[in-house]
Amino acid sequence: MKPTRRDFRLDIIVLLGSITGVTITVFGIYRWLSGQHALAWLDFAIVACVMLPVLYAWRTGDSTRAGAALCVLNSAGTLAACLLAGHTALTWIYLVLLTNFFIANRWLAASANLVILVGVQLLPGFFHDGFHATSVAVSVLLITGFSYIFAKRTQGDRARLEKLAAIDALTGVPNRRSMERALADAVDTFQRTGHNYGLVVLDLDRFKDVNDQYGHAAGDAAIADLASILRFEMRRNDHVFRFGGEEFVALLDLDNSQDLEAATERLRKAVRSALRGPGGRITISLGAALLREQEKTWHDWFSRADAALYRAKSAGRDSYVIADDLF
């Protein structure tokens, strides 16, 4: 199945793996037509070995294992090419030294690069002389060092950017993007293992009145305070997200509809007793739904909880409705 999450390393593995496969295939065809059948068979074998982890990564989304396998295969293939083709294979070495850091953990990439360095140094007659061997060794170490530093900085920057992209700036809780991923994972887990989840959609009652009478600063403060209360009420395996505006979503790890109803009422009471604005107490309305077997996507599950929320608001606010009560 094609992965649903965007993974930078996965993109690089598929791109570089595909380019490598096509490029080596062209070389293999040329060598075959030139009568270099042994080298051509080596090229084709390398292509097969490279494409296996690429296809695995594409189908499963597991870029960590695929990247590690591709790093080892590329390095081993490079050493084999050096053994068969001599120093003319040095071009492949420099390419592999760089790409290892894009497809694998930087420690594995650095280790693979050092193995390549030691391996070519031990090949008899590979270098013209000692100066040639030394210059290649220095080049390998410089490429490895700079690539290691670049990979470390890039990984840190990417992690920080992904964290910022997943967090709502006002409340500090995960945003809608994170919610969609979490709900999709919950549905997948439920389909595979039967592990149950509850979903609660809630928003502030008469929030427009707070904004109109006291200004948007007061409204933002109420939203931030609500997020703090909800975050405090979450248990170890529960999660809360800001869906948008004054609306929040709680993903609860529980067993049955009775637990869902108890948790929903607990959230309502916690907010009612703790949330205050310039005009006094602020309440919430909630709609909840237990994940059902026939729901294959999170959208269906969310729609039931959202419909329950609007039923609660129509009933007078400061209340909750469990979706199963609607049917």
Q: Which residues are catalytic?
A: 246
- Tell me the β-bridge partners of 285: 203
Please answer whether residues 302 and 244 qualify as being in contact, where contact means their C-beta atoms are separated by less than 8 angstroms.
Answer: no
Q: Determine the Cα–Cα distance for residues 240 and 178; give it in Å rounded to an integer.
A: 10
All residues at 6 or more sequence positions from 274 whose CB lies less than 8 Å from its CB, including other chains: 225, 229
Comparing CA positions, the residue from 91, 119, 102, 103 lying closest to residue 23 is: 91
DSSP code at position 127: S
- Tell me the β-bridge partners of 321: 287
Structure tokens at 120: 């070519």
Residue 201 has phi, psi (to 5 degrees) of: -110, 130
Which residue is associated with the tokens 């975050």? 231
Strand locations in the chain, DSSP E?
Answer: 197-204, 239-244, 247-253, 276-277, 280-281, 284-290, 320-322
Q: Determine the Cα–Cα distance for residues 249 and 256; give it in Å rounded to an integer.
A: 18
Long-range CB pairs of 105-109 (<8 Å, 24+ gap) are: 105/64, 105/67, 105/68, 106/148, 106/151, 106/152, 106/155, 108/68, 108/71, 109/71, 109/147, 109/148, 109/151
Beta 197-204 vs 284-290: how paired, if at all? antiparallel
